[in-house]
A and B are shown apart, each in its own frame.
Chain A
């Protein structure tokens, strides 16, 4: 929409084609980007498509380009909605009713949608509670959330250029492209049930965009690394993603509230999503147990360029949960301790005591139906076994896995997402530096992501049971929690 806005303002008439269910969002976005009367033509996802769809679209497209403007379409002005700082005054009981109110949204078949919450009841953000939350940071309440350091960002696909972002850049919360103050973030932290000592983590999450993404963020998912996990009591042990731990549960929930309230997410009105994720619904955050790392392995904070003593948060995208070979923890132990069981048979090391390379087993067919990298969350014993086997750093593992993901271009072409990530095969393939469409069918390319470090990640939890969890996605961008203390 910013592109269309700039064209219109330069005197070049434009017409947008959008799909039917996106019309509400188009009407919203055109105001947000300063062209409230942008003309658009609606296509249908349900039409037969092909020539018949083209026949339907041509006339309205050309009409939208040539029909003279109405007086209303020529108008300019200012759109400046405002919100009061004090939203409600009353008893706590009345406030509960107010903050938990819903509205019916036609686009989701008139299902109720919460005005201020993620659908769950919230802690009422009284002035006193918000003031207490603000004691969790040295930053002023009226300070606008900005980037705390320079950073370089790789675009979503490899065909996009690296973007440099500068310290001080105002963070925009999507889909409404809003800004926020420290106090506004504190209001949401109170509502989520956070304690003041959690607040620096919440502010770092806000600096990362607050789980709002490009407007379809879903509330996000986050990994914490560094000593703060101990200070605030995040569970890094058994049931790391289970209920019962206030820090994990309430901080994880914050992203959904920031998306709803700071970003202004409203399904089918300000954003169109698809089905969402059961993994992140309700919040997703966990911390790394760096104390359990084998000698020479670095924690996530150090991997991301911070010191060992600095606490950070890194947004992640935990899709494709559980991908790869399954195993019972006991089978893993049998492999390493006595060389028995299914994995020992698979690795052909029956009767031979470990360490054995469990990764050989884990990656079998892992890219068969899904390309890209993944994150492994493992207990310290599994990490130690890998180290004893010969992996002296996490990076060696990332590279080992990535090298095993190569496959011929002919096979790579059969995957579902590649038209997108290769820009219709018009983009550059990274390992060769050549155009995708010029590569022979037998040229080997990585199905497991463009880059070992970006595509893979290893994190430890403190657990004696030897279960390894894994989900899609590797390293992203990290944000300092300490900068928000």
Chain B
């Protein structure tokens, strides 16, 4: 009879992650400050940024732009006055 072996697991350890629900959505866009976090490929943003600003003039649009794949983050102070964030295309 062939010998039986115990064989070990090569996978790493996944640390537990506490998951949370999403932040409440906006009831209206008017008068809100919505931040555009632009990073990575800029291509689709050229027209998207312009269209959002043109079609929704009652929104206070803010922008941080970076060519790197890691976005430029809002400071804690900026977060206090920001109602929503659109981020693309890297995360």
Contact = CB atoms under 8 A, between A and B. Distances in A.
B5 A95 contact: yes
Interface string B1-13: 0111111111111
Nearest to B43: A49
Contact of A57 (B6, B43, B48): B48
Given A12-B84, A16-B88, A43-B88, A126 B6 contact: yes
B12 A79 contact: no
Contacts of A65: 25-26, 29, 34, 84, 86
Contacts of A180: 12-13
A178 B13 contact: yes
B7 A424 contact: no
A37 B14 contact: no
A15 B51 contact: no
A68 B17 CA distance: 25
Chain A interface SS verdict (over half): mixed
Size category of the binding interface on chain A: 35 or more
B62 interface: no
Size category of the binding interface on chain B: 35 or more
B22 A87 contact: no
B84 A13 contact: yes
B11 A264 contact: yes
A58 B22 contact: no
Contacts of A23: none
A67 B22 CA distance: 12
Contacts of A75: 19, 21
Interface in B11-62: 11-29, 34, 37, 42-44, 46-48, 50-52, 55-56
Given A13-B24, A65-B86, A125-B8, 4 more contacts: A12-B83, A79-B17, A87-B8, A90-B4
B21 A126 contact: no
A16 B86 CA distance: 6
Most buried by B among A7, A19, A66: A7
Pick the 4 closest A-B CB pairs, nearest first.
Answer: A17-B88, A178-B12, A80-B16, A262-B12
A69 B51 contact: no
A31 B19 contact: yes
21 contacts: A11-B23, A12-B23, A12-B83, A13-B84, A14-B23, A17-B86, A31-B17, A33-B17, A65-B34, A69-B25, A80-B14, A83-B13, A83-B14, A85-B9, A87-B9, A88-B6, A90-B5, A176-B14, A184-B10, A261-B10, A264-B11
Interface in A141-186: 156-157, 159-160, 173, 176-181, 183-184
B68 A160 contact: yes
A107 B2 CA distance: 39
A187 B9 contact: yes
Most buried by A among B50, B83, B89: B89
Nearest to A37: B22
A9 B68 CA distance: 24
B75 to A, nearest CB: 12
A38 interface: yes
A88 B11 CA distance: 13
B25 A78 contact: no
B25 to A, nearest CB: 5
B18 A76 contact: yes
A54 B47 contact: yes
Given A4-B91, A62-B29, A124-B7, A78 B18 contact: yes
B89 A19 contact: yes
A66 B10 contact: no
A18 B86 contact: no
